[in-house]
């Protein structure tokens, strides 16, 4: 098509109903559409390996803001938070038009006038989906009922009552014990021989009687609660069975939907989601804005020019209303190489140069989702430069299996033996060390545990740091009910120490070098916020609302002793922002 081939125009009449003029979103648009992009949707063509890219330009961002204004006028769009997207296209006549899409369902509907339709295939499993959703709702209601059964509340009430009784008894017994000790001292001072022995035996008998009284109350508690515990255990077993059943039928439905979903690219090629991601698909794959928009454009002969996605509605821990976001790592990014096939390949855009300490915080750019790049390799260990957005190791669930480890295990002959010696947060880029055998892993791990590994990170903070350097010592604790969020806790927190040095300051940003002496979860992110009072740019989890599409934190340097050769290894990478 756009590389010289032609594509058949399908369904001209229907698609005109979702093509919007630019004036629908903008009063005027003097914005230069050729201005540099703030973000690139990109992927490698599965056939040629060429890097294919679609920009997010100032013009498409202005169009997106126009859509935001329309959404703000209707409260229905604020009830639930979701992603929305706009795609600027060129129609066969050469005119520019705009497509708009929403992720998933909008107010319970998948097809709404004026919005692009879902990726085809859902209708093939519509009946199965309805039946499955009905079954899932029944399981949900049973779970709610099981969690609210009277036995649980009765158990909690009785447990508290027995605990209070035991506390009152303990206080009374402690007071009696103190009185007996005083009485014993008096008896030793006033009595002798048989009279003293008899009096002391009476005090010991009183002590034994109180012990019997305490054991009797505990036995009564255990007998009373035993039947309730048995009922609760039975309920818990049923709850686990229902949760496993819910997971199984959800996965079965997703597998059926992914096999039915069919995507088309700009070469006119069609493929199911299951074929494109045979190793497993996260829930919701195919329902995001970017695949909807690109598939629709490809099937209707529309040339894509620029695309933008943003969050609207109730904000959550990761997304903020009105902010732009790139392709999601789990669902959309793996499809980009196929979806963009047929567009002209683009050379990769280098990261912006930094001269004289001057920098410009920018969104994630080229190379992030290319190959995992090795920076050191020998027969015992590997060091790679991990891109932001990629997990270090696979997660627990199907949608979190893509990682450095899983990719290298598929690429290397000895990949099954690889183990990550340490980890970087998913959104943190930089040096990650991997061991190729158990002995190397143990020896390197010991160096990390004994704090013999020198680590240097570089970050951009979304504010001005007034001090030039210093030490941050704050204890960190992670609430098990709110993982992975960490906080400063002087009672329960583990000691954590970081040295910082300001590299440059520009406008409202500060480039900082961090040297962590300990390795706590999110240590640098929390130390920046709590120790310096400024969050790292792009750190949504800890409250950064600045416009950035990645966490600006990079593991720049790593120095350690090679566990086999004993040589000092000093690894360095260029900071990509």
Structural fold of domain 373-572:
Pseudouridine synthase (3.30.2350)
Q: Which pLDDT score is estimated for 522?
A: 94
Q: Which pLDDT score is estimated for 396?
A: 62
Longest dimension (CA), the chain: 119
Pairing verdict, β 429-435 and 553-561: parallel
From the list 309, 312, 320, the residue with the least C-alpha distance to 535 is 320
From the list 67, 78, 62, 74, the residue with the least C-alpha distance to 312 is 78
Chunked into runs of 10 residues, the chain (577 residues) has average pLDDT values of 35 63 81 65 74 89 94 81 93 92 82 85 63 83 85 87 91 91 88 87 91 92 89 88 85 68 84 66 67 92 94 77 82 83 60 30 32 83 91 71 81 81 92 92 90 94 92 88 84 91 92 94 93 91 81 95 91 91
Between CA 559 and CA 566, with CA 564 as vertex, the angle to 5 degrees is 50
From the list 513, 424, 497, the residue with the least C-alpha distance to 461 is 513
CA distance 208 to 219: 16
Catalytic residues: 425
Q: Which pLDDT score is estimated for 277?
A: 62
Q: Which pLDDT score is estimated for 356?
A: 32
Q: Which pLDDT score is estimated for 355?
A: 31
Contacts of 442 (CB under 8 A, 6+ apart): none
Q: Which pLDDT score is estimated for 423?
A: 92
From the list 211, 553, 196, the residue with the least C-alpha distance to 389 is 553
| Domain segments of the chain as ranges | 12-120+264-339, 144-256, 373-572
CA distance 310 to 82: 8
Query: Residue 347 gets which letter from DSSP?
Result: P
Q: Is 391 helix (H, G, I), strand (E, B) or coil?
A: strand
């Amino acid at each position: 098509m756009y590389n010289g081939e032609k594509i058949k125009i399908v369904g001209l009449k229907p698609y005109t109903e979702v093509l919007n003029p630019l004036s629908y979103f903008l009063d005027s648009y003097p914005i230069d559409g050729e201005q540099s992009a703030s973000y690139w949707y990109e992927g490698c063509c599965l056939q040629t390996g060429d890097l294919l890219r679609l920009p997010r330009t100032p013009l498409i961002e202005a169009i997106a803001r126009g859509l935001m204004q329309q959404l703000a006028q209707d409260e229905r769009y604020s009830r639930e938070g979701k992603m929305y997207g706009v795609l600027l296209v060129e129609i066969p006549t050469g005119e520019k038009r705009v497509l708009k899409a929403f992720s998933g369902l909008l107010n319970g509907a998948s097809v709404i006038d004026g919005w692009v339709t879902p990726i085809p295939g859902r209708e093939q499993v519509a009946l199965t989906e309805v039946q499955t959703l009905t079954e899932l709702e029944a399981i949900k209601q049973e779970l709610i009922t099981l969690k609210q059964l009277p036995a649980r509340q009765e158990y909690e009430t009785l447990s508290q009552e027995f605990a209070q009784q035991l506390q009152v008894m303990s206080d009374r017994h402690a007071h009696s014990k103190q009185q007996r000790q005083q009485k014993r001292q008096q008896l030793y001072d006033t009595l002798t021989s048989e009279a003293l022995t008899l009096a002391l035996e009476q005090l010991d008998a009183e002590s034994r009687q109180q012990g019997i009284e305490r054991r009797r109350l505990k036995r009564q508690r255990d007998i009373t609660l035993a039947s309730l515990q048995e009922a609760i255990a039975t309920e818990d077993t049923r709850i686990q069975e229902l949760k496993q059943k819910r997971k199984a039928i959800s996965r079965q439905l997703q597998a059926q939907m992914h096999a039915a979903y069919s995507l088309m690219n700009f070469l006119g090629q069609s493929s199911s989601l299951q074929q494109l991601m045979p190793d497993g698909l996260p829930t919701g794959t195919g329902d995001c804005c970017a695949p909807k928009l690109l598939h629709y454009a490809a099937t209707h002969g529309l040339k894509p020019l620029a695309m933008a996605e943003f969050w609207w509605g109730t904000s959550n821990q990761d997304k903020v209303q009105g902010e732009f976001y790139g392709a999601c790592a789990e669902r959309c990014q793996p499809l980009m190489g196929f979806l963009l096939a047929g567009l002209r390949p683009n050379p990769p855009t280098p990261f912006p140069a930094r001269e004289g300490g001057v920098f410009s915080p920018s969104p994630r750019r080229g190379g992030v989702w290319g190959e995992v790049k090795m920076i050191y390799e020998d027969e015992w260990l590997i060091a790679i430069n991990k891109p932001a957005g990629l997990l270090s190791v696979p997660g627990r669930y199907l949608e979190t299996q893509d990682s450095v480890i899983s990719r290298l295990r598929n690429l290397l002959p000895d990949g099954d033996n690889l183990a990550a010696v340490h980890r970087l947060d998913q959104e943190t880029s930089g040096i990650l060390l991997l061991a190729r055998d158990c002995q190397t892993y143990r020896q390197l791990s010991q160096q990390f545990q004994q704090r013999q590994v020198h680590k240097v990170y570089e970050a951009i903070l979304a504010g001005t740091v007034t001090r030039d350097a210093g030490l941050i010592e704050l204890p960190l604790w992670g609430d098990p009910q709110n993982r992975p969020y960490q906080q400063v806790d002087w009672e329960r927190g583990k000691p954590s120490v970081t040295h910082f040095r300001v590299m440059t300051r520009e406008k409202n940003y500060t480039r900082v070098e961090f040297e962590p002496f300990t390795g706590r979860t999110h240590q640098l992110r929390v130390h920046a916020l709590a120790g310096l009072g400024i969050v790292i740019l792009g750190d949504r989890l800890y409250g950064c609302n600045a416009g950035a599409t990645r966490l600006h934190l990079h593991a720049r340097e790593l120095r350690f002793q090679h566990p086999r050769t004993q040589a000092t290894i000093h690894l360095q990478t260029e900071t990509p922002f």
